[in-house]
């Protein structure tokens, strides 16, 4: 399994530099390090959601209240957000998303493939600026660029952390390799 430390730490540092104080999430194993660091940092919060579209409302509400949030989820949850993505668009509020991808490199679960493959196009169709990451070393600077674009331009933006970065899972154990 690839080392989540480096790319996760780079993204977390970019979050802190941009005053992102809340992560709304339907937790995913690929996000564990970032979620733990957020939860352990004074002044930062993790909001656990029951479904991903709630996160769109949370981060939009944070922006309207003068704060910055991040919606973190797995690509299989992106489909749940599509209708809700009209909310930040209507209020010209940024909606920054961090998406761990499935259905790509070495995927074992055929159920994950359709949404994993469609995620970039589906988000783009909703006006979201999409930033794929296929190399761990690019995660931090890509996230920083997407966050700056989102918050400065008041756009929705999604950083897609590729399956080669987070690792693949196996049928036998469900563990990433």
- Residues 99-137 have pLDDT tens digits of 988 756 666 667 675 677 779 999 999 999 999 999 999
Say which residues have a Cβ less than 8 Å from residue 111's Cβ, sequence separation at least 6: none
pLDDT (average), residues 48-61: 97
- Mean per-residue pLDDT of the chain: 89
How much is the pLDDT for 163? 83
- pLDDT of amino acid 51: 96
Supply the range of the domain harboring residue 77.
4-166
CATH number at residue 103: 3.40.50.970
Whether the per-residue pLDDT at 84 is higher than 90: the answer is: yes
In-domain check, residue 173: no
Phi, psi of 34 (to 5 degrees): -65, -45
Q: What is the pLDDT of residues 149-172, one digit of tens each?
A: 999 999 999 999 988 888 766 655
Per-residue pLDDT band for 2 (boundaries 50, 70, 90) equals very low
Residue 31 makes CB contacts below 8 A (sequence gap 6+) with: 25, 72, 73, 74, 98, 100
Domain assignment present for 57: yes
CA distance 76 to 61: 24
pLDDT over threshold 70, residue 67: yes
Instruction: State the total domains in the chain.
Output: 1
In a domain, 176, yes or no: no
């Amino acid at each position: 399994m690839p080392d989540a430390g480096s790319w996760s730490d780079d993204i977390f540092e970019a979050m802190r530099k941009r005053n992102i104080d809340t992560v709304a999430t339907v937790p995913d194993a690929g996000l564990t390090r970032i979620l733990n660091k957020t939860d352990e940092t004074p002044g930062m919060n993790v909001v656990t959601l029951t479904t991903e579209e709630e996160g769109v409302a949370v981060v939009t509400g944070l922006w309207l209240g003068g704060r910055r949030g991040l919606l973190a989820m797995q690509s299989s949850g992106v489909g749940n957000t599509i209708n809700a993505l009209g909310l930040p668009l209507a209020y010209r509020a940024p909606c920054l998303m961090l998406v761990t991808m499935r259905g790509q490199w070495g995927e074992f679960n055929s159920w994950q493939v359709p949404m994993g493959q469609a995620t970039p196009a589906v988000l783009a169709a909703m006006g979201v600026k999409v930033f794929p990451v296929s190399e761990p070393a690019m995660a931090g600077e890509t996230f920083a660029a997407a966050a700056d674009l989102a918050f400065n331009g008041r756009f929705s933006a999604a950083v897609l952390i590729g399956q080669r970065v987070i690792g693949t899972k196996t049928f036998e154990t469900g563990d990433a390799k």
